[in-house]
Amino acid sequence: MYTFRTATIDDFNAIQALLMQHQLPIDGLAQHIQHFEVVMANNQLIGVAGVEQYFPFALIRSVAIDSQYQHQQLGKQLIEVLLSKLNDAGFTTYYLLTETAPTFFSKLNFHIIQRSEVPLVIQQTQEFATICPDSAIVMTKNNLSL
């Protein structure tokens, strides 16, 4: 049985460990943790998906599922929970950077765009400007393509 919920500061260490296990950046984690969703199994954090909010845009980040729990649709469900909350709050467009998961995100109706097509407010984020390399693939989705 899996439980999906919003992250709390008490989840910080477990989220950080999971992201590091997957070689994902942890910069800015503390500032945005209240906008992260997690999935739990047996009181253990096994998945995370985060967002940086720049209304009406959102930058999806820090998506990871513990390797023991992959291939069970948990990542897909976690993104769906996250996007549902963002849609309910009136966000219109979502962006992300990935080096390893474009196929996963394309199955969720994200599509590849050029960096120049991303709004300036997203381009100026730490994640976009300095953390993720220029080789990272930029993807987007609007709330009409759920």
User: In 3D, which of 21, 82, 83 has the Cα closest to residue 46?
Assistant: 21
Percent with pLDDT over 90 in the chain? 84
Asked if residue 34 has pLDDT above 60, the reply is yes
Which of 5-14, 56-65, 119-128, 136-145 has the lowest average pLDDT?
136-145
Dist. CA 69–CA 56, nearest whole Å = 33
pLDDT, tens only, 96-129:
999 889 999 999 999 999 999 999 999 999 888 8
Asked if residue 13 has pLDDT above 90, the reply is yes
Q: What is the pLDDT of residue 146?
A: 44
Q: What is the pLDDT of residue 46?
A: 98
Dist. CA 14–CA 56, nearest whole Å = 29
Distance of alpha carbon 63 from the chain centroid: 4
Q: In CATH, what number is assigned to the domain containing residue 128? A: 3.40.630.30
User: In 3D, which of 44, 36, 27 has the Cα closest to residue 9?
Assistant: 36
DSSP H or E run through 13: helix 12-21
pLDDT band of residue 132 (cuts 50, 70, 90) is confident
> Model's pTM, two decimal places?
0.92
CA R_g for the chain: 14
Total domains present in the chain: 1
Asked if residue 145 has pLDDT above 80, the reply is no
Question: Which structural domain, as residue segments, surrounds residue 51?
Answer: 2-145
